[in-house]
Structure 1
């Protein structure tokens, strides 16, 4: 199966809190999911929410073959606490030539091992959430999302000096190295910001730029 389409089926291995939430959300978005966990009670508890959920040992190559996992283009190894099982399941997916493998890691070292084996994407849920919450707790940001190693989107309020002035006249990017992508005024939806946009007190803005620059911009009074 091709991994090009966003609606291609996905195998999710490991149905703890992260894996089960992921599988249910993928199904909600219209993606077919084959969910696998070795614990029958967990599988039974999710039978009403997931169409294809089976109790099987994902560290057993024959079990994966019988389930047709090799026919899938994408898979997520959501096993966290059992590092040996996580590593073995990932290696079997690589051996089955699943093209696009995502793997949950509980540490950066675990993630590096999974990458060396052949996982294309490493997810560190606890680390990523901790980093995001730290940004929110420590400043004036309403939301924070790092989309690359040094680039982020921040939701915040407009600094006072940029209220009431068309953005095209502020030289914002030259002065602060950030771009206001969109704005939400009270009682309306988000809209794209352009040179004619005039910010008001109470607006919410989404700012894009290098991490250190968006952090400093969000702290402006």
Structure 2
């Protein structure tokens, strides 16, 4: 049964499991100004992060009372960074679901583990090694400078402008109608990114932010 006695606090995040993934995420959230509670069963990991996070605790995260004692049910956002210990990952995620935490991210090492975590109630499953491998594969095999894929086979890429667009306004180069993509932004050497319009003229060396179906943006990135 969900714990609804105390209000959730959106400006705080609890990160459970302070290995490479959890510690990196916790540090970045702290850098962005969030109040972070970091929890791990390994005292050494907790000690390493004690000066970087708001609070750090050594605790068995499969123990409901241990989590209650450090106030985990009060959080609105939680990240389970436990990956290698499947039992601990499942039990910890299940407790967070029982607490009624509305936003739970859970790390998985593979799709099978991810499906299990989704079934027990994790709202978001992260496969960092798989996702990073897929992202790097796109960067290695094409002219992309960056690649981000979303649900429903949709992606946004950063790529060097293709030759066929050189010297033309986007409306005339017809990248949108030919390849079914949208050029969202453009960056010229030495300048910042700006929003792109049909009148924006593309020059050699410009960097484009292109959005659309994955296959479509890949085609644009492969243009010479």
1:20 aligns with 2:23: yes
How big is each residue's C-alpha offset from its partner over 1:190-212, in whole Å with a ceiling of 9 and x where there is no partner? Answer: 00010111111111111111000
- Write the mapping of 1:156-167 to structure 2, written as runs, cut at 5 A: 156-167=159-170
1:191 aligns with 2:189: no
Q: Under a length normalisation based on structure 1, what TM-score does the superposition of the two structures give?
A: 0.96
**Greater strand percent: which structure?**
2
> How far apart, CA to CA, are the structure 2 residues paired with 1:133 and 1:47?
32
TM superposition outliers: structure 1 runs of 4+ over 3 Å:
none
Q: Relative to structure 2, which stretch is displaced further, 96-105 or 169-178?
A: 169-178
Quote the offset at 1:171 in angstroms.
2.4
2:172: which partner in 1? 169
How big is each residue's C-alpha offset from its partner over 1:101-137, in whole Å with a ceiling of 9 and x where there is no partner? Answer: 1100001010000000000000000000000000001
Quote the offset at 1:91 in angstroms.
0.5
Q: Is the 8 A contact 2:105 2:126 kept in 1?
A: yes
How big is each residue's C-alpha offset from its partner over 1:171-196, in whole Å with a ceiling of 9 and x where there is no partner? Answer: 22211101111010011000001011
Extract unaligned runs of 5+ from structure 2: 1-6
- Write the mapping of 1:60-71 to structure 2, written as runs, cut at 5 A: 60-71=63-74
Quote the offset at 1:45 in angstroms.
1.3
How big is each residue's C-alpha offset from its partner over 1:15-39, in whole Å with a ceiling of 9 and x where there is no partner? Answer: 0000001111111101111110001
> How far apart, CA to CA, are the structure 2 residues paired with 1:21 and 1:207?
29
Q: Under a length normalisation based on structure 2, what TM-score does the superposition of the two structures give?
A: 0.95
> How far apart, CA to CA, are the structure 1 residues paired with 2:198 and 2:166?
13
Q: Is the 8 A contact 2:35 2:53 kept in 1?
A: no
2:3: which partner in 1? none
> How far apart, CA to CA, are the structure 2 residues paired with 1:2 and 1:208?
35
Aligned residues: 218
